[in-house]
Amino acid sequence: EAQVTQNPRYLITVTGKKLTVTCSQNMNHEYMSWYRQDPGLGLRQIYYSMNVEVTDKGDVPEGYKVSRKEKRNFPLILESPSPNQTSLYFCASSQLLPGSEAFFGQGTRLTVV
Amino acid sequence: QKEVEQNSGPLSVPEGAIASLNCTYSDRGSQSFFWYRQYSGKSPELIMSIYSNGDKEDGRFTAQLNKASQYVSLLIRDSQPSDSATYLCAGWRGGYNKLIFGAGTRLAVHP
């Protein structure tokens, strides 16, 4: 089954404690991206990657890091989480073609206290 | 000005009616447009995609694109309570390799 898998689904952490949210896709997609979703603001892109070892900033990259060492995996790293990073996060993947459908993971609800 | 704008709603329609959802975009370089449906707390799922001016129909859904007016719409015929969700409009900016989302319109279909 074609899917994008994120883990964990829910996470409560404390300010400053490093965390990683994993994302894996089994569709051999070149393009992967991370979004955060906040009420009234919609989905905002954090980082994206067009292929292995190729990553770039999205609209709201501050406080986040990513890596793309393998085509299937695209983890999101918060080195020192802060309460303003409390949000619903989605990983997505697609082929690198203009009309390609983006497939989304199940989402990770992160709370930073 | 947001790159992709939608009325946040809620848009309330009776069961069986036509729901009309609208979206405008500011970047004329946007090439492709998508409508995603998102139930509360769930991930977005693709409903329709449209690349050319005009209408595209798929079952109860019709997407309309007018590039001159920078306008995209989604019509849902015979609306059902199960259509109650937030509908996200998105445009692909090829030059920037980005999918830009609107904030979404909440649709409520009441029996």
Question: pLDDT tens-digit profile of B44-58?
Answer: 999 999 999 999 999
What integer pLDDT is reported at residue A42 of this predicted model? 85
Q: Is it the case that residue B65 has pLDDT exceeding 90?
A: yes
Averages of pLDDT over runs of 10 residues in chain A (113 residues) are 94 97 96 93 92 93 97 97 97 83 94 97
Tell the residue number behind the tokens 């390609």, with chain if given.
Answer: A100
Cβ separation B92–A98 shorter than 8 A: yes
In DSSP terms, which residues pair with B73 in a beta bridge? B22, B64
Give the minimum alpha-carbon distance from A27 to chain B in angstroms, rounded to a whole number.
Answer: 16
What does the block give as tokens for A78? Answer: 């918060």
What integer pLDDT is reported at residue A76 of this predicted model? 98
Q: What share of chain A is helix, strand, coil (3-state, %, to 5)?
A: 5, 50, 45
Chain B CA closest to residue A105: B43
What integer pLDDT is reported at residue B92 of this predicted model? 87
Cβ(A103)–Cβ(A2) below 8 Å: yes
Instruction: Give the residue ranges of DSSP H helices in chain A.
Output: none
Provide the mean pLDDT of chain B.
Answer: 92
**Going by DSSP bridges, is the β-strand pair A10-13/A108-112 parallel, antiparallel, or unpaired?**
parallel
What integer pLDDT is reported at residue B30 of this predicted model? 81
| The 3-state secondary structure of A21-39, one letter per residue | EEEEECCCCCEEEEEEEEC
What integer pLDDT is reported at residue B109 of this predicted model? 97
Once rounded to an integer, what is the mean pLDDT over residues B81-106? 90
Q: B-contacting residues of A 27-66, CB under 8 Å?
A: 31, 33, 35, 40-45, 48, 50, 56, 58
Once rounded to an integer, what is the mean pLDDT over residues B82-98? 88
Cβ separation A98–B42 shorter than 8 A: no
Partners of residue B49 in chain A, C-beta under 8 Å: 99, 101
Tell the residue number behind the tokens 């050319």, with chain if given.
Answer: B52
Once rounded to an integer, what is the mean pLDDT over residues B61-88? 96
Q: Is it the case that residue B96 has pLDDT exceeding 90?
A: no
Chain B contact for A96 (CB, 8 A cutoff): yes
Chain A CA closest to residue B32: A99
Can you tell me the distance from the alpha carbon of A75 to that of B84, in angstroms, rounded to the nearest whole number?
A: 32
Can you tell me the distance from the alpha carbon of B24 to that of B66, in angstroms, rounded to the nearest whole number?
A: 10
Reported as a pLDDT band with limits 50, 70 and 90, residue B1 is: low
Identify the residue with better confidence: B30 or A89. A89
Partners of residue A107 in chain B, C-beta under 8 Å: 41-43
Tell the residue number behind the tokens 């994993």, with chain if given.
Answer: A22
Q: Is it the case that residue B2 has pLDDT exceeding 80?
A: no
Reported as a pLDDT band with limits 50, 70 and 90, residue B27 is: confident
Cβ(A90)–Cβ(A35) below 8 Å: yes
Can you tell me the distance from the alpha carbon of B87 to that of B74, in angstroms, rounded to the nearest whole number?
A: 9
In the sheet that A76-78 helps form, which strands lie side by side, from edge to edge? A4-7, A19-25, A76-78, A65-66
What does the block give as tokens for B28? Answer: 């004329």
What integer pLDDT is reported at residue B29 of this predicted model? 79
